Amino acid sequence: MSSLSQTNFLLPGRQTLILVRRMNSSHGHKHSDPPHFAYKGKGLPRPTSLDLNSFVHMHNRQVQVGITEPPRASTVPLYRSTVNVEARNIEFMEQLQQLYNRVLTADWHDQVSQAQNVMIWEGALYRLKRRTGSCPDLHVQLMLSKVLELFDVMYQAEDVADHVYQLSEELNRGSILDDQIQDHMDAVLAQYNYLMKTYPDYALKIQTTVGQAIASIRQKIVFDCPQEFTNVY
């Protein structure tokens, strides 16, 4: 768009009315519009086929005389992802390690605390297992295996301890005979030996969980217990 304006100029000897045409150099762009709409040009001219042929011929001649090296495969990736694989693996390792430490340092003998925390731990394990299941990093997979093994030990130790506590309640009600308690305790001790041999790295947690349960019932009734428990009186 263009605009006309009238301007009065005083020239020597006379007054002249001059019409000055002010060309709008913005090509229709208004100052209220965003800046990227200001340019209305057509850009650089497209190269013709003759230009392309001359470019290729010149490049080949430069390669022959040694001025230009032939193109080689780039060692730098053509694109860079916004997701850093190494940072993701470190994040997985930290989350798995935190869950492992939280479960390992918990008091498995405290049934109230376990009832409140186990569901939270299971939810965290489910999310981590879903995210890290397809992760190809070896360290992440090894740490995930350790966490799963720790959960297996906790579940089995709690099952044995719960069975002992149920036997103790049955003794209080008088619904179980004293001569039957030895059969139950033989099964408990057999499972205890199995856990100690299968998971020697978690022997202390097994002793503190199952051993305290055995100690609680041994205060009510006497049975054969050849194993040495630190919590059995």
Residue 115, C-beta contacts closer than 8 angstroms, at least 6 positions apart: none
Average pLDDT, stretch 49-53? 76
Overall pTM > 0.75: no
Residue 213, C-beta contacts closer than 8 angstroms, at least 6 positions apart: 109, 160, 161, 164, 165
Side-chain half-sphere CA neighbours of 81 within 13 A: 6
Average pLDDT, stretch 89-100? 92
pLDDT digits (tens, 9 = 90+) for 127-164: 999 998 888 888 899 999 999 999 999 999 999 999 88
Average pLDDT, stretch 113-123? 92
CA distances to 38, 60, 62, 73, 188 from 55, rounded to whole Å, are: 33, 9, 11, 21, 86
Task: Tell me the angle at which helices 138-173 and 111-132 cross, rounded to the nearest 10 degrees.
Answer: 150
pLDDT digits (tens, 9 = 90+) for 173-195: 776 666 677 788 888 888 988 99
pLDDT digits (tens, 9 = 90+) for 210-233: 888 887 777 777 766 656 555 555
pLDDT higher than 80, residue 201 = yes
To 5 degrees, how large is the angle CA 172–CA 219–CA 217? 60
